[in-house]
Structure 1
């Protein structure tokens, strides 16, 4: 069957419609979140379960999504038609999310160990109990992937079927942006500690600025891109989704920022595979479940080399895999290409470890 031909008048008509909607401030993107219910609300996080889709038989073990800090959890559910959550629920997979909510001055004393030893383990146990599943797929993006891996390493007693890290850098010497920042750190470093301790953390505007700097080329060329793609409604809808995401950035808690600053600028501790948390070493080599690593081919914040270094560290995992997918730091998780790359690759991996026999064999 012949495909319809898109003519110049068609494109001009589409561009005119999109421009009219923009001028009228009529949303192009469908920014409704996928339906969900609160499973449990605690002081440090809220656990959500996304509603199953009517007519689709539930199947597979549940996946628990682990967000980073500062970036809002809506990254997993950016917009209708381009939502990782939407994709998984349409596969019939039970989907849960641990949402930490915004950070404020009261959270200034929380460090990485808070998420690794308290928040993520508690969320895993609740998901297992609520779903009735014998094991849970744990999947995190960016710093959430780092939380995921250190949790799996620190708590072998957790009922995990697998652990996935998307765009999570473990060898920070491979991040060009940080190489540029280190000479600045030698001059301004002594001022950083007193500054973030006085503020209780890093304010949301600064975390937003950092994210924008990591994709500065896209940020600067955005007006031109909107003109070039004026007839592409899905492209413009994606920009709206990303704009909302950027406007929803949170602050970083002070102690966690201090730990990360030390790792990033001074020690590159993640690259060793061992991190000191709550007075004891946590070794990634102790992870004994299948591991999936997803790297974005256009990610400047977490380049491929920095991300796939994780596979050199999880030597105790029975199955370590790398998926390379197009997109930057956010795009590899929820860009338009992720529909065909990242999400199906994750689902294929989860399916392989959806029953106890597969997991036992892998171990």
Structure 2
């Protein structure tokens, strides 16, 4: 009897699903689509609102474990502790095995002015700091801080004759190594060169890497380079009549961070628009929004550029191109670039709208180094430093070059508790 009723039920069920199965399937599919749409819409609205009112929750930079080992005013020095994980995943999925054998010569990263130092530790998978830590280097970072209009008087003398020596002294004491390597991006490379040129007594800077550093300002780019060269002639005539740029108050040359941001974005306005359109298209993707917000913070939130430094750069480097000519007066010292004998590795981007290849290549002629190499790599001014291709070009070349010129400890060391 039970078998009979079971057969009847099975038959009716079969008929029912033959008639209405497609409808039920379509209804379920539509419900799933509606659910996904609702979730996507909710995420879209949430990110659209939260990225405005809680921006800090989206910023992924400056997350690598570090400690401040020295501070003087707005300038500080950070030491990055060795990575505790065994692997580091880079953007694109490449996995690095973290090297436990360390190099004895520490690497000092030198940021430019007009940006925050955390660009060296941008994203977990796009962090120059973490990349070199994974390859066995002791990493330090000089942080120039956040100048305001109150710091308009900060000059090249402050950076290269005062803060730079103090920073290296603190690093040498902390690392217990007299020898150091420097890696400078843009103006950071120029400040490193100025320090070495003005301090010929310091023979313990073994290696210097510069990335997109415009040594020859008259070749800086197709617009500002020729303009500076053209203006140098009337500027010399005006100077002979007794007028000097340094007689003008430093505050008049001070550049607000918002102006810097606008100027940088105007070097690639189409890129700015297209990246924003991509953000709108991916506003429901939390990871995409966080990465966009972090990268955008670099170009949107910039510190002021001190007026005294701007004035000196305009006069000594822009108008008169002193660095490319080999000598530059800084404070009471003459920075003679022929004093530099450190090993040199320099980079220029093939699509850099700010620093031309010729402007960056000039480093090869002003220094006395015998071991010096110049590379042209893919990317614009930011891309050559930390773009998606940089890990396979600028970073990889720098790592290989530096490993050959750095001394390794005979066994792994643990400095995690060092202070």
**Which of 213, 218, 224 is matched with 1:178 structurally?**
224
**Which of 244, 267, 279 is matched with 2:297 structurally?**
244
Please give the residue correspondences for 1:311-350 in structure 2 after superposition, counting only pairs within 5 Å.
311-314=364-367, 316-350=368-402
Q: What is the TM-score normalised by the length of structure 2? A: 0.72
Report deviation, 1:184.
Answer: 11
Give a deviation string over 1:183-231, Cα, whole Å, max 9, x none.
99799x99x9788634572111112122222333422433345478889
Supply the distance in 2 between the matched residues of 1:196 and 1:204 (Cα, whole angstroms). Answer: 19
Structure with bigger gyration radius: 2
Supply the distance in 1 between the matched residues of 2:374 and 2:102 (Cα, whole angstroms). Answer: 25
Q: Superposition RMSD on alpha carbons, in Å?
A: 3.3
Please give the residue correspondences for 1:19-168 in structure 2 after superposition, counting only pairs within 5 Å.
22-23=47-48, 25=50, 30-31=60-61, 33-54=63-84, 56=98, 57-60=100-103, 61-158=105-202, 159-168=204-213
Q: What is the TM-score normalised by the length of structure 1? A: 0.83
Give a deviation string over 1:254-312, Cα, whole Å, max 9, x none.
21110111145421222212111124421212101101101111111111111111111
Supply the distance in 2 between the matched residues of 1:183 and 1:219 (Cα, whole angstroms). Answer: 30
Could you tell me whether the CA contact under 8 Å between 2:121 and 2:129 is conserved in 1?
yes
Change (3 A) 1:104 1:199: farther
3-state secondary structure, aligned to 2:213: coil
Supply the distance in 2 between the matched residues of 1:135 and 1:265 (Cα, whole angstroms). Answer: 33
Could you tell me whether the CA contact under 8 Å between 2:214 and 2:359 is conserved in 1?
yes
Report deviation, 1:31.
Answer: 3.4
The answer to whether residue 266 in structure 2 is matched with residue 223 in structure 1 is no
Supply the distance in 2 between the matched residues of 1:185 and 1:232 (Cα, whole angstroms). Answer: 50
Could you tell me whether the CA contact under 8 Å between 2:385 and 2:394 is conserved in 1?
yes
Report deviation, 1:182.
Answer: 5.2
Matching residue of 1:269 = 322
Structure 2: unaligned runs, 5 residues or longer: 1-35, 52-56, 87-97, 409-419
